[in-house]
């Protein structure tokens, strides 16, 4: 959260760097940042991230409603909203297609074997999500399953997403992710990916915790509750088969959400 004008400049700078490093092509990629507890800034669709202007950055609320701006928000906005919903500590999100990391995602190859201390220090760990059709409800659901235990997620057959304490922090994590992917590719090509031992990783996680960064555990993975609209969609599909009315649906949705919050 911060000065709106400065945040717009940070989004533009991160977009420029993504484009210059070939982490995005054409109009690919998207960036978002929390403005306050009611609003966020997000990039538009159909615009090269290397050539954005401050007035093109859109302001929306956490339900995805446009507050200000003359363009249409990125088609992946629901993914951004799902991440903000799952991670209160996350202030900014970067989605891009860095070639090597995306190559791992396309091949269905994970980067979960930790062989570099930088992974623990900067990302915690790297997750690989299941395939989800871009722009659909499948994407936020898939990302939500993994973002609770990582600051970097490979999106199967799609790209990658990184999160951070500010826009540039999220961007730098994308740089780290791509660097790790390149080094891992070379190591595996040479036939020996020297993975750190459990003891070595625990020492690194202890250092990460002392740095004030979240330490993720497998028990926390997938613990994010679904946004209300996703719960409602699932209930409506079932209700249609059981011939349940709209008023009953609202009651069921609210009951489910109350249970999630209290559990």
Helix, strand or coil, per DSSP, at residue 148: coil
76 in active site: yes
Helices vs strands, H then E, count in the chain: 9, 8
Q: Residue 197: count other Cβ atoms within 10 Å of its Cβ.
A: 9
Per-residue buried b or exposed e for 30-59, using 16+ beta carbons within 10 Å of the residue's own CB: bbbbbbeeebbbbbbbebbbbebeeebbbb
Query: Of 39, 76, 175, 198, which is the active-site residue?
Result: 76
For 255, phi and psi rounded to 5 degrees? -65, -45
Q: Residue 89: count other Cβ atoms within 10 Å of its Cβ.
A: 10
- Which residues are the active-site residues? 76
């Amino acid at each position: 959260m911060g000065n709106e004008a400065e945040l717009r400049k940070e989004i533009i700078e991160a977009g420029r760097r993504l484009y210059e490093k070939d982490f995005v092509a054409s109009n690919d990629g998207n960036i978002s940042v929390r403005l306050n507890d009611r609003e966020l800034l997000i990039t538009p669709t159909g615009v090269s991230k290397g050539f954005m202007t401050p007035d093109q950055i859109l302001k929306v609320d956490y339900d995805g409603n446009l507050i200000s701006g003359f363009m249409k928000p990125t088609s992946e906005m629901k993914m951004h909203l799902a991440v903000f919903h799952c991670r209160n500590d996350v202030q900014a999100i970067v989605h891009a297609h860095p070639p090597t990391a995306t190559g791992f995602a396309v091949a269905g190859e994970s980067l979960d074997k930790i062989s570099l201390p930088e992974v623990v220090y900067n990302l915690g760990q790297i997750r690989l999500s299941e395939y989800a059709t871009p722009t659909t409800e499948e994407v936020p659901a898939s990302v939500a399953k993994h973002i609770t235990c990582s600051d970097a997620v490979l999106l199967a057959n799609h790209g990658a997403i990184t999160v951070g304490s500010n826009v540039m922090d999220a961007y730098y994590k994308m740089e780290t992710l791509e660097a790790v992917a390149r080094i891992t590719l070379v190591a595996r090509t040479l036939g020996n990916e020297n993975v750190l031992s459990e003891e070595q990783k625990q020492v690194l996680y202890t250092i990460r915790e002392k740095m004030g960064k979240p330490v993720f555990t497998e028990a926390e993975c997938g613990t994010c509750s679904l946004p209300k609209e996703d719960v409602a969609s699932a209930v409506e599909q079932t209700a249609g088969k059981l011939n349940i009315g709209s008023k009953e649906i609202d009651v069921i949705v609210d009951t489910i959400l109350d249970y999630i919050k209290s559990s």
